[in-house]
Amino acid sequence: MTMHLDSFMAGLIRRNPGQPEFHQAVCEVAETLIPYINAHPVYERACILERLTEPDRIVIFRVCWEDDAGNVRVNRGYRVQFNNAIGPYKGGLRFDKSVSLSILKFLGFEQIFKNSLTTLPMGGAKGGSDFNPKGKSDREVMRFCQAFMSELYRHIGKDVDVPAGDIGVGTREISYLFGQYKRLRNEFTGVLTGKGLAFGGSPVRTEATGYGCVYFAREMLARQHEGLEGKRCVVSGAGNVAQYAAQKLMQEGAKVLTLSDRSGYIFEPEGLTEEELAFIIDLKTNRRGDLSEVAKEFGTDYFPGEKPWGVPCDMAFPCATQNEIEEEDARRLLANGCRAVVEGANMPTTREALRHFRAARILFAPGKAANAGGVAISGLEMTQNSMRLTWPREEVDRQLQQIMKRIHEQCVAHGQEDSWVDYVKGANIAGFIKVAGAMLAYGIL
Ligand SMILES: NC(=O)C1=CN([C@@H]2O[C@H](COP(=O)(O)OP(=O)(O)OC[C@H]3O[C@@H](n4cnc5c(N)ncnc54)[C@H](OP(=O)(O)O)[C@@H]3O)[C@@H](O)[C@H]2O)C=CC1
Ligand SMILES: O=C(O)CCC(=O)C(=O)O
């Protein structure tokens, strides 16, 4: 029987009402996968896509903690264990007031394909909480993390499910979470990645997502006989991914014109300097302030309440959050000459914006391929933990570059269309083949 996108999506929406981000992520994948499945009926007969869009399990729990004023606070915690066909569940934790089941299901679903693309043995998962770390003291964050882990520890394990960071979860939070897991289980294992270097973290994990994006961009440009030198790049976000995408772009000779946060964006017409970037990394990682402080310190142009997509550029690196490039933003980017979009964030492009980019046949790298460097180095952190070894920084960076190159090759192999590469289609099909093959091998589960 032939599969049809409309009827497949109608069923998915009926079974998962009120989850727009999840619908969006599945639709983007189904659109490119269904023709492939129709050409390979073995997948359709085994209902692989229907099974892939239903999480293995979801854990939802109360997180109760005490703030500095002695008030009792209640948040909701989640872990979506989506698919472990090719390895233990793996994916980040997000702490943000916007966190919902829809957002975590979209992220967990994307993670299945992304982790498969890394070529490492990792299944897909995501989790987090509607806890808002903004304005909380270190002690409050610690108490929240301990309370969160007091339930999560029952559901994870180094061979079961290995969480990591995402929005609002960096080294500070992973350290508190790891400490609590160690206390509750009385074992020191690689149950989380993104750990501090002193207690099992991998060199380059902090930089890996941002660096990986730039390595992916380099591969895309190399196919066009071009390089990053002199390219004008608009980057959004000012957190982990944006900081290290910006750093690597600068090392490669590109100009980073912008960074942004929830307060607005900064614009440096000749490109950010190393001094400005070092200030921003400290501001965001340690002092947790907003970008208006960069304007105060350096006189950098600052546009409160605005997104950076109106700035003329050669390449855009959305590295903040989902759906940050809307249709009008895509029109402006294209009208201003942008020729490549590389997604550092997960699903930062709305469906309407994506349609414009694909119609214009620009270089468009979807997050599941371009930002896979972070989880890839998490995978290598797991390997190092199992071996009880830490590899040198140069070795991990070399492996990251090799992995990004291989991901790029897989996208080209499955996404080549006459002279243009449809990286969305390529990433979806390449990610699918391995997971679907494992699911077929297991029989009906
Ligand atoms: N960390 C990782 O290894 C990986 C992350 N990703 C994805 O990359 C993206 C960024 O993650 P990461 O850098 O880790 O997170 P961080 O929390 O370190 O940084 C997020 C940045 O984006 C900004 N931001 C968040 N939400 C919004 C919003 N609604 N509007 C405007 N700006 C916003 C934040 O602003 P402010 O500073 O004001 O809070 C911050 O500057 C996410 O989509 C994540 O899923 C993907 C792969 C791996
Ligand atoms: O490092 C990891 O395990 C997950 C990173 C992540 O959350 C992502 O790739 O979106």
Could you confirm whether domain 57-188 is CATH 3.40.50.10860? yes
Q: Strand pairing partners for 233?
A: 256, 315
Q: Is the ipTM of this complex over 0.95?
A: yes
Q: How far is the CA of 150 from the centre of ligand 2 (A)?
A: 22
Mean pLDDT score of the chain, rounded to an integer? Answer: 98
Confidence of residue 349 (pLDDT cuts 50, 70, 90): very high
351: pLDDT strictly greater than 90: yes
pTM of the entire predicted model: 0.98
Give per-residue pLDDT as tens, 395-439: 999 999 999 999 999 999 999 998 899 999 999 999 999 999 999
Could you confirm whether domain 206-361 is CATH 3.40.50.720? yes
Strands 89-95 and 57-66: what pairing?
A: unpaired
Q: What percent of the chain stands above pLDDT 70?
A: 100
Work out the number of other CB atoms within 10 angstroms of the CB of residue 188. Answer: 13
Q: How far is the CA of 70 from the centre of ligand 2 (A)?
A: 34
Q: What does the alpha-carbon distance between residue 224 and residue 322 come to, in Å, rounded to a whole number? A: 28
Give per-residue pLDDT as tens, 58-107: 999 999 999 999 999 999 999 999 999 999 999 999 999 999 999 999 99
303: pLDDT strictly greater than 90: yes
Quick one: CA torsion of 371, 372, 377, 380, rounded to 10 degrees? 180
State whether the beta carbon of 371 lies less than 6 angstroms from ligand 1.
yes
Q: Where are the domains positioned within the chain?
A: 57-188, 206-361
Which ligand 1 atom sits closest to the C-alpha of 378?
3
Determine the average pLDDT of the residues in 316-332.
Answer: 98
Report the first-to-last Cα separation within the chain, whole angstroms: 21
Q: What does the alpha-carbon distance between residue 439 and residue 276 come to, in Å, rounded to a whole number? A: 49
Residue nearest to atom 37 of ligand 1 (CA): 261
State whether the beta carbon of 308 lies less than 6 angstroms from ligand 1.
no
pLDDT for residue 314: 98
pLDDT for residue 248: 98
pLDDT for residue 273: 98
Hunting for tokens 């190399």 — which residue is that? 222
pLDDT for residue 1: 80
